[in-house]
Amino acid sequence: MPREITAFSNPLIKRVRNLRDKKHRREEGLFLAEGLRILTEAREAGRLPQFLFFARDMANHPLVRALVEATEAAGGEAIETNADILSKLSGKDNPGAVVGVYPEFALTLDQLDRSRAPIWLVAERLRDPGNLGTILRTGDAVGAGGLILLDDCVDPFSVEAVRASMGALFTVPVAKASWDAFVPWLRSGPGQLVGLSLDTEHDYKAPAYAAPVFLLTGNEAQGMPDFMAAECDLLVKIPMLGKADSLNAAVATAVMAYEVLDRVRGG
């Protein structure tokens, strides 16, 4: 049976609230996700929270009941609370019906199976959590094998990135690695490294793509460093026909991902 917590001073509330801070997430290896849709996506992907907070007035909602039952069956704890507590946990004035606390689950390169998908997404020094979340959604949409975050990227388990992913964090494998570790891993098996760059004459529709394709997106402000560009098997650009000199990093990744998917599927 779920217990009830309605006091802001409760130690668990303080502990969970602190997970909005990166330092506490690292110390505990836990992160927050909020919203019925996102937590349901997580449940369907086989990931259940250690702690599930839900609004009292939503207790009889069928999706909330399913989350409560699955969480308790897996050994987690379901906690009934109110909108004020949920707002404190999520940081939103209008919180969702549920907030979950999950173990972090970023992978290492050695845990990835490059044969599981024809396209993989790679991002280096990505700084914006909204971009990271959107790239994860793109990865889910194109059936990417995963997203590999290189060097000092924004935390994929931040509240903002989890929210922006709309549940894709739970469906698209995420790995973290340094560039120096990524290159030998990539070259140890099949894989074409394709970089998005403004400093090339190759239109993104011109080259041949050979699966598995690892699509590399550079930092939003600085783009891809020269030494990374030099390692790419292909550098391609998306033509800009207006006054803007480039697309948003997440938008460019989506355009490229669908082009690569079309090619490797024989389009």
What are the structural domain ranges in the chain? 3-103, 109-264
The predicted-structure confidence for 72-82, as pLDDT tens digits, reads as follows 999 999 999 99
The predicted-structure confidence for 4-30, as pLDDT tens digits, reads as follows 988 889 999 999 999 999 999 999 999
What does pLDDT average to over the chain? 92
Report the number of secondary-structure helices (H) and strands (E) in the chain: 10, 11
Highest CATH level, class, for 109-264: alpha beta
Task: List the single range of 67-71, 110-114, 131-135, 263-267 with lowest mean pLDDT.
Answer: 263-267
Give the right CATH number for 3-103 from 3.40.50.80, 3.40.630.10, 3.40.50.720, 3.30.1330.30: 3.30.1330.30
Q: What is the C-alpha separation between 25 and 106, in angstroms, rounded?
A: 13
The predicted pLDDT at position 14 comes to 94
The predicted pLDDT at position 246 comes to 66
Helices 129-142, 249-264: axis angle to 10 degrees equals 10
Higher pLDDT, 11 or 264: 11
**Equal CATH topology for 3-103 and 109-264:** no
Residue 189: pLDDT band with limits 50, 70, 90: very high
Joined tokens for residue 3: 């217990």
Q: Where are the beta strands (DSSP E) in the chain?
A: 3-4, 30-34, 51-55, 77-81, 98-103, 119-124, 147-150, 174-177, 192-196, 213-217, 234-236
Of 123, 78, 112, the residue nearest 257 (C-alpha): 123
Q: What is the C-alpha separation between 173 and 175, in angstroms, rounded?
A: 7
Q: What are phi and psi of 4, to 5 degrees?
A: -115, 135
